[in-house]
Amino acid sequence: GVEGLSGIPGTVGASVVQNIGAYGQEVGSSVDAVRVWDREEGAVRNLTASDLRFGYRMSVLKASMYDAPATPAAKYFPTPRYVVLSVTFALRRSETGVVGYGQLAKALGVEVGDRMNIRHIRNAVLKVRASKGMLEDAGRYSADVMRGTKEAGLVSIACEAQSAQVGGTQPDYNRHSCGSFFMNPILTKQQAEKLPEDAPRFDAALPDGEPGVKTSAAWLIDHAGFHKGYKTDEDAAAGLSTLHTLALTNRGGAKAADIADLAKTVQDGVEDAYGIRLVPEPVVIGMDLR
């Protein structure tokens, strides 16, 4: 139930806060319960999957940090009310899984909905992610601040695999990002009617539970005039990935202000073109990206 999440860097605790998802799967679909420390009550609690109210990149854990999308709540931000202590998963015992995403199906040479060996699905996910620079830079574990956080043997294997993927040992700046920077917008049906005919549309639920339409943030960015590798100026230290417009990357020496400047430029451009304000996925501290 989690093979589609292969290659997403992070921790188990953070995965349920964000309800991470990729290639047709979300971690919330495989969670049975989460044991937390409730900072409000000063007690340990066990939250069921129902209690967690998982949604698109959302949970009751993450919601406790915000008053509204990208608007921090004064009491707990930048961390949730609940500290995750442990997660219990309910995984299905099977050697096969359903291919639930078009790009993944294409990589496997099958149709969406077909069943495949889970190992094959995982390997395809990693291959597709690598082709878009959406894997972490394994070389980061050689830095002093990261040394010892992963077994040396595993770091060596990861570095060798990365070298084979990118054709050398130089830094892969396309991997110097925090993943997909913007969430896919979920629109009302009235808002969706204003999109161009060729814009992607998927059934989704609005925050209030009413039917909505999800569209692609990457498509909006592309069609608002921001190409792969876009920078605000030629010498900018931050730029869009040369492989994937949804990743804002550090091209060497970028500071938080550089990323924020790039993010705001993209947000403003998409809003001018389509009337949609993109919401960041990362927790943004000390900057206003509403």
86-138 per-position pLDDT tens digit: 999 999 899 999 999 999 999 999 999 999 999 999 999 999 998 898 888 77
> Which of 54, 71, 92 finishes a domain?
92
Which CATH number fits the domain that encloses residue 243? Answer: 3.90.78.10
Helical (H) or strand (E) element with 79: none
Please check whether residue 285 lies inside any domain of the structure: no
Q: How many domains does the chain have?
A: 3
- Identify whether residues 144 and 184 lie together within a single domain: no
Is the peptide bond between 78 and the residue preceding it cis, with omega within 30 degrees of 0?
Answer: yes
pLDDT at position 152, please?
78
149: number of Cβ within 10 Å: 10
pLDDT tens by residue, 2-36? 999 998 988 999 999 999 999 989 999 999 999 99
- Asked if 190 and 263 sit in the same domain, the reply is yes
User: Which of the four pLDDT bands, split at 50, 70 and 90, describes residue 182?
Assistant: very high
Residues whose CB is less than 8 angstroms from the CB of residue 6 and which lie 6 or more positions away in sequence, other chains included: 122, 125, 126, 129
pTM, two decimals, is: 0.85
In a domain, 286, yes or no: no
Give a yes or no: residue 280 inside a domain: no
Shared domain for 155 and 244, answered yes or no, is: no
Tell me what pLDDT residue 168 has.
Answer: 59
> Which residue, 76, 92, 108, sits at the end of a domain?
92
**Residue-by-residue DSSP string for 260-287:** HHHHHHHHHHHHHHHS----BSSPP-SS
Residue 204, H or E segment: strand 202-205
Instruction: Tell me, yes or no, whether 189 and 133 share the same domain.
Output: no
Please identify every residue annotated as catalytic. 57, 180, 281
pLDDT band at 143 (very low <50, low <70, confident <90, very high): confident
Query: Cα–Cα distance between 180 and 158 in angstroms, integer?
Result: 21
Tell me what pLDDT residue 1 has: 85
Q: Could you tell me if 140 and 158 lie in one domain? A: yes
Whichever domain contains 32, its CATH number is 3.30.465.10
Say yes or no: 76 and 43 in one domain.
Answer: yes
Q: How confident is the model at residue 232 (pLDDT cuts 50, 70, 90)?
A: very high
Residue 36 located in a structural domain: yes
Instruction: Assess whether pLDDT exceeds 80 at residue 164.
Output: no
Same domain, 270 and 192: yes
Q: What is the mean pLDDT of residues 189-207?
A: 93
281 lies in some domain: no
**Taking a C-beta distance cutoff of 8 angstroms, is the pair 160, 185 a contact?**
no
Cα separation, 29 vs 15, in Å, equals 12
Listed in sequence order, the DSSP H helices in 27-78 are 49-52, 60-63
Tracing tokens 């919601």 back to the chain, one arrives at 63
Provide the domain limits for residue 249.
177-274
